[in-house]
Amino acid sequence: MPFLPISRKELDERGILQPDFICITGDAYVDHPSFGIVIIARICESLGFSVGMIAQPVSDADFQRLGAPKYAFLVTGGNIDSMVSNYTVAGKKRFDDAYSAGGKGGKRPDRAVTVYCKRLKKLFPETEIAVGGLEASLRRFAHYDYWADKVLPSVLADCGAELLMYGMGEVTIAEICERLKNGEKLSEMHDIRGTCYMTQPVNTPIGAVQCDSFEIVRDNKKAYAKACRKQYDEQDEVYGRTIVQRHGDLMLVQNPPQRSLTQEEFDRTYELPYMRAYHPCYEKEGGVPSIQEVEFSITHNRGCFGFCNFCSIALHQGRRIQTRSEASVLREAEALTKKDGFKGYIHDVGGPTANFRAPSCDKQLEHGLCKGKKCLAPSPCRNLKADHTEYLALLRKIRKIKGVKKVFIRSGIRYDYLMADESDAFMKELIGNHVSGQLKVAPEHASNRVLDYMGKPHIEVYEKFEKKFYEITKGMAKEQYLVPYLMSSHPGCTLKDAVDLAIFLKKHNIRPEQVQDFYPTPGTISTAMFWTGLDPYTMEPIFVPRTPEEKKLQRVLLQYFKKENRDLVEKALTIAGRRDLIGTGANCLIPPAEHPRKTAGGRPAQGNRKPSGKPEHRRNASPKKQSRPPRKKR
C-alpha cells in the first residue's frame, strides 16, 4: 500500500477526482501509527473513503493543492500542541522540531488548529471541518493559555469548525464516516460521543453539567478552578455526562467520552497498512527525526490510571487501560525484524505507561474509575491489582523471535505500580533483559507536599525502588543506572521544597544534567493551579512560583553542584534560611565563597575545595542531547 496522496498528480494516478477527506496537519507527513492523524486517515481509507494529506501548509496554494474534499477537512495541529512545539517554558522560540523535516522549527504556525481552520474557511467557505488531535482536544473548553497569559475561549469557538473530536478518535471517525455517507452533515451530528459542538443556547441538552461561562472563568479564578474539576470529573466513559459551557451567544457542548476500543479494534487499528516511514519527499532535507524513536518500537497499550496532575493523558486518552492482543504485538515484532535497517533491537514495547496491561481494579469496568481519586497516589488503593504476569509473558515471547537480539523498555515505567506487585519476577527480568544501561523513571520531586500537588506517590516509594533496583543490579553483576526525571517550580513548590530536593539529590548522589521547569500546558489540573493559585479539588490556596527569578532559584538548586550556579545557590539558600548548607561539611551543598587573601609568604591562599567523596556514577547524568518532551502521549 503506497503513501497517501499529497499532490494532484498522485490523486490522478489513483483515479481520484475528488478525495472524500483531506487531512491537514502541523507535522510532517510520517505514515506511522504514532501520528494520530495518520491513524484517522488510514481508518477512513479502510472504510472505503479516499483521503489526501497536506502537511504543514503555509500558502493558499498549499491549502488548495488537492482541491476541496467531498465531505470534510480533518484538521490537527500535530502530535504536540503547536505552542509547546514552538516555544520553551521560558517563552523563547525553538529552532528545532523533531516532527518537521530536517528537525528544523518554524514550519507550523502558533495555534495551528485555529490558523488552519480560518484559512480553510476563507478558501473553501462551503466545506465543513472537523478538528482533533492533542491541541484541539486539550483546548476544547475555555482554557488558560500560558503564552498569552490569559484564559482563551474553546478552540472550537475560535476556529469555526463544525465539530471537534476529543480523545482517541478511531470509534468516533468511523461513526462520522458512516453518517456522512448516509447524507448527514457534520453540523447536524450533535449526538456522537467523544465530540464537541457549538449551538444556540436554546438547543442546550437537558441534564448537562454546566460550567461557568467563558466570560466568567476568564475573569474569576475560583470559577475557573471549579470548572476544571467538573471537566475532569466527567471524563469517564462509564459515568461521564454531557458538559456545557456558554461562550457569548453560543453554547459549547461536550458529549460524554467515547467508549474504549475493543481489543480486536485496537489490533486492527495498529495493523492497518502503514508505510511506517516518513514520506520520501523529505529525503532531501534529511528526513524527519521523530521516526527514529518509533521506527522500531511497539505500542501495546494506551491510557493511564496513574493520573498525574501535570499530565494531559487523563483528559485526552483517559484513565482506562486498553491493550492490544499478544498475537497482534507479536506479529508487529516479527514484521520489524524484516524491515530495512533493523539491527536486532526493538527500542520499546510500551505506551503512556509501559507496565500497565490491565485495569487497576475489577470495579472500574462496570462502575468507572473513582471520581477525584488516584489509583497509586499518595499510596496504592487497597483495591489495586498490581500484576505484571501478562506483560512479562509478552516480553518473553518477543525476545524469542528470530532476529531479535534485545528488547528495551524506554517509555515510562511506573515504579510505584511495580513496587506494589508482590512478585519480583518482572523487576528482575526488567533489570536483566530490558534496560539499555539506564532506566528512566519519574519521581519528579522529593517533597511529599509537592508530590501531593503533582498527584505522585511519596518519595519513600522511590527510595525503596532505588534500593531494590541496585541490589538486583549488583546481584546480576551489571552496571546499570537510574535516570530520574525531576521537575522544578511546580505549583505548591516553595524554595524550601526545592532545597529539600537538592538535599535528596546529594544524599542519593544524583547530578541531573537537565532539569524540567513546570510547563503549564493547556487543560491540565496543574495548569489550573498555576493560573488560579488554587487546588481545584480542595479550593485551598497554594503558592505558585511565577517570576523568572523564583523559577531560576529553584532550578539552580537542582544543579547546585555546577560551579557557575554557586552564587545563585547561595542566594537561594539564604532566602530559604538554610545557610547551614554552605560549607565544607559532608552535608553541605556548596563551599563558602572564596575570598582571595595573602598568606605570610605573599602567595594567594588556596580557596575552599570540594571534599572528595564517592565517585560520580553515570546514573547521575542524563544522556547527552536528551530532552524531555512535554507529556501528551505521555
170 and 55 belong to one structural domain: yes
Average pLDDT over residues 45-52: 98
**In the prediction, which pLDDT does 634 show?**
38
**pLDDT greater than 80 at residue 618:** no
Q: Please compute the mean of the pLDDT values over residues 379-396 and round it to a whole number.
A: 96
- The yes-or-no verdict on residue 624 having pLDDT over 60 is no
pLDDT at residue 616, as a whole number: 41
User: Do 387 and 480 fall into the same domain?
Assistant: no
Amino acid at 526: S
Read off the pLDDT of each residue in 168-190 and give the average, rounded to a whole number.
97
Q: How far apart are CA 443 and CA 462, in angstroms?
A: 6
Domain contains 303: yes
- Tell me: pLDDT of 95 over 80: yes
**Confidence class for position 629, pLDDT limits 50, 70, 90:** very low
Predicted local distance difference test score (pLDDT) of residue 515 = 85
Q: How many domains does the chain have?
A: 3
393 and 483 inside one domain: no
CB neighbours of residue 62 within 10 Å: 14
Q: Is residue 389 part of a domain?
A: yes
Q: State how far Cα 36 lies from the chain centre.
A: 13
Cβ within 8 Å of residue 593, ≥6 positions away: 566, 567, 570
- Over residues 58-91, the pLDDT tens digits come to 999 999 999 999 999 999 999 999 999 999 999 9
What pLDDT score does 412 carry? 85
CATH number at residue 24: 3.40.50.280
Give residue 19's domain range.
8-192
Stretch 232-252: mean pLDDT: 97
Q: Tell me, what's the pLDDT at 609?
A: 39
We report the CATH number of the domain holding residue 372 as: 3.30.750.210
Mean pLDDT of 323-335: 98
Same domain, 480 and 419: no
Same domain, 331 and 414: yes
Residues 531 and 425 in one domain: no
Q: Is residue 240 part of a domain?
A: no
Are residues 406 and 551 both part of a single domain? no
In a domain, 451, yes or no: no
- DSSP codes of every residue in 97-150: -TTSGGGBS-SS-TTHHHHHHHHHHHH-TTSEEEEEHHHHHHTSSSEEETTTTE
Residues 531, 398 share a domain: no
pLDDT at residue number 614: 37
Peptide linkage before 378 cis (omega within 30 of 0) = yes
**Are residues 349 and 398 located together in one domain of the fold?**
yes
Residue 602 has pLDDT above 50, yes or no: no
Over residues 284-311, mean pLDDT:
96
Look at residue 418 and tell me whether its pLDDT is greater than 80.
yes
Please give the average per-residue pLDDT across 618-626, as a whole number: 38
Three-class SS state of 555: helix
In a domain, 556, yes or no: yes
Q: What confidence score (pLDDT) does residue 594 get? A: 81
Q: Which of 174, 192, 210 is the C-terminal boundary of a domain?
A: 192
Residue 186 and residue 306 in one domain: no
Q: Sort strands 30-31 and 128-132 into parallel, antiparallel or unpaired.
A: unpaired
pLDDT band at 595; cut points 50, 70, 90? low
Q: Are residues 431 and 497 in the same domain?
A: no
Mean pLDDT in residue range 444-472: 97
Q: Tell me, yes or no, whether 633 and 543 share the same domain.
A: yes
412 is written with which cell numbers?
515510562
Query: Tens digits of per-residue pLDDT, 360-372?
Result: 999 998 999 999 9
Asked if the structure places residue 573 within a domain, the reply is yes
Which residue, 412, 436, 460, sits at the end of a domain? 436
Backbone angles phi, psi at 22, to 5 degrees: -125, 125
Task: Indicate whether 465 belongs to any domain.
Answer: no
Q: At what angle do helices 36-46 and 170-181 cross, to 10 degrees?
A: 40
Q: pLDDT grade, residue 1 (50/70/90)?
A: low
- What is the per-residue pLDDT across 532-588, written as a single tens digit (0 to 9) for each? 999 999 999 999 999 999 999 999 999 999 999 999 999 999 999 999 999 999 999
Domain presence at residue 447: no
List pLDDT tens digits, range 305-324: 999 999 999 999 999 999 99
